[in-house]
Amino acid sequence: MNAVLRSIDALSGLSGRIAAWVIAPLIFAMVYEVAARYLFNAPTIWAYEVGYMAMGANFLLGAAYALRERAHIRIDVAYTHFPPRIKAIIDVVGYGALFLPFSIWLSWRLVLYAHGSFESGEHTGASAWSPLIWPLRAVFAIGFILLSLQAVAELVRSLRMLITGVDPHAS
């Protein structure tokens, strides 16, 4: 089981590194667009869509990494003051009853959505460039699948905490 958890963590780490590198084309597209528009009075037809696609990919591919690093925003006014077992109970309920059913359902729907876009050859329609949209929708599906996997790993860690009393997040 530890090997599976480490593999999920490694996959989340890889997706986080990919998400970080997606910022490079985003920066390039935005700088190029600003220069082309304001220095040469020649705006691009592609920079807007590259920008929102790169930002969406960055956000969703980075979500699993953020969960692994416990970097998601929490409303932890009381949570931080609870003992580790109470935190584990809250996490088990949160992941098991609330988050995972939704994220697994959404992952499945996003896979179907990406597949439908691929099958139909759908384009974005947001600009004159209008590229195919299925690659972005596939990234969305992959991002939610990775987030769901990381949530399963966190659920297992919380269950272990309840059973063994050993905090898996303690340094």
User: End-to-end distance of the chain based on CA atoms, in angstroms?
Assistant: 20
144, 107 contact by CB (below 8 A): yes
Half-sphere exposure of 76 (CA within 13 A, CB side): 14
Q: Is residue 119 part of a domain?
A: yes
The dihedrals phi and psi of 6, each to the nearest 5 degrees, come to: -65, -35
Domain ranges, residue 60 = 2-164
68, 13 contact by CB (below 8 A): yes
Query: What is the token pair recorded at 152?
Result: 């399963």
Binned average pLDDT, 10 residues per bin, the chain of 171 residues: 93 97 95 95 93 94 95 80 91 95 97 97 92 96 98 96 80 48
CA dihedral 139, 9, 84, 92 (to 10 degrees): 50
Q: Is residue 109 part of a domain?
A: yes
pLDDT of residue 166: 80
Q: Is residue 169 part of a domain?
A: no
17 vs 139: CA distance, rounded Å: 15
Half-sphere exposure of 65 (CA within 13 A, CB side): 15
pLDDT of residue 117: 97
pLDDT tens per residue across span 39-81: 999 999 999 999 999 999 999 999 999 999 988 877 778 888 8
pLDDT of residue 169: 66
pLDDT of residue 111: 98
155, 91 contact by CB (below 8 A): yes
Q: Is residue 170 part of a domain?
A: no
Q: Is residue 86 part of a domain?
A: yes
pLDDT of residue 73: 78
Question: Into how many domains does the chain fold?
Answer: 1
Q: Is residue 72 part of a domain?
A: yes
- With vertex at residue 148, the alpha carbon angle to CA 145 and CA 150, rounded to the nearest 5 degrees, is 110
